[in-house]
């Protein structure tokens, strides 16, 4: 079933992907394993694009299928039992509208018991500031897939500093081109290489009581 889902995802078979996701959820399948299979299917889509088999339109379609699958799985994460570990503000920064990676991070954070404030895409710095102020979140996740997003990441960290919030929050950044050099430029605390790494970062900060 796992390989079937990956294959359906890579073949852009929307109906089959959603059917298999729903069947696995109904059968009590591990939501994280389902998401991971979808992600691996997306990786195959990327390889096909690089090989010239797929076009930009196919990438867009794959992204839409992935979002629908994530939404299905995400319903199991919306109200996890027990007390929330902490609050995390997440968004794709100003000038960038990519959200696949961000959505996966949001889903995994919810799965791990966090209260996530998802600001969406193309989010200006002041919106992150407002969200931290209103929610009291102690972690901020900035996503970006375009190199032009680096300046927006820096602007957001600077805005948190200007608002007197920086010392009270940890900032992680992520996205395909994001490196430790970008982290240093933006003034962030860490790079989340992937969704699992992002969750591990937040867990580490919360458990070590580096943040409230």
Please answer whether residues 41 and 9 qualify as being in contact, where contact means their C-beta atoms are separated by less than 8 angstroms.
yes
Indicate whether 200 pLDDT > 70.
Answer: yes
Helix axes 31-50, 56-74, angle to 10 degrees: 180
More confident residue, 15 or 113: 15
Please answer whether residues 73 and 21 qualify as being in contact, where contact means their C-beta atoms are separated by less than 8 angstroms.
yes
- Burial of residue 21 (CB within 10 Å: 0-12, 13-18, 19+) is buried
More confident residue, 211 or 151: 151
Q: Which domains does the chain possess?
A: 2-74 (1.10.1240.10), 87-207 (3.40.50.280)
Helical (H) or strand (E) element with 152: helix 149-162
Identify the band that residue 67 occupies on the pLDDT scale cut at 50, 70 and 90.
Answer: confident
Average pLDDT over residues 141-166: 96
The most confident of 22-26, 85-89, 124-128, 190-194, by mean pLDDT: 124-128
Q: What is the pTM of this model?
A: 0.74
């Amino acid at each position: 079933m796992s390989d079937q889902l990956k294959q359906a995802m890579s073949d852009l078979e929307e109906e089959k992907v959603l059917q298999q996701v729903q069947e696995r959820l109904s059968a009590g399948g591990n939501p994280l394993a389902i998401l991971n299979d979808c992600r691996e299917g997306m990786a195959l889509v990327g390889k096909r694009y690089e090989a010239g088999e797929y076009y930009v339109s196919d990438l867009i379609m794959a992204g839409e299928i992935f979002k629908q699958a994530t939404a299905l799985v995400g319903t199991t994460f919306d109200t996890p039992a027990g007390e929330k570990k902490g609050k995390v503000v997440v968004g794709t920064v100003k000038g960038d509208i990519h959200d696949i990676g961000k959505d996966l991070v949001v889903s995994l954070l919810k799965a791990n018991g966090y209260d996530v404030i998802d600001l969406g895409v193309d989010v200006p710095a002041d919106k992150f500031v407002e969200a931290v102020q209103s929610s009291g979140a102690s972690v901020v996740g900035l996503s970006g897939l375009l190199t032009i997003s680096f300046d927006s990441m820096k602007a957001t960290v600077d805005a948190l500093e200007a608002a007197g919030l920086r010392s009270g929050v940890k900032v992680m950044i992520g996205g395909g081109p994001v490196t430790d050099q970008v982290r240093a430029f933006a003034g962030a605390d860490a790079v989340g290489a992937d969704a699992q790494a992002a969750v591990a970062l937040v867990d580490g900060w919360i458990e070590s009581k580096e943040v409230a």
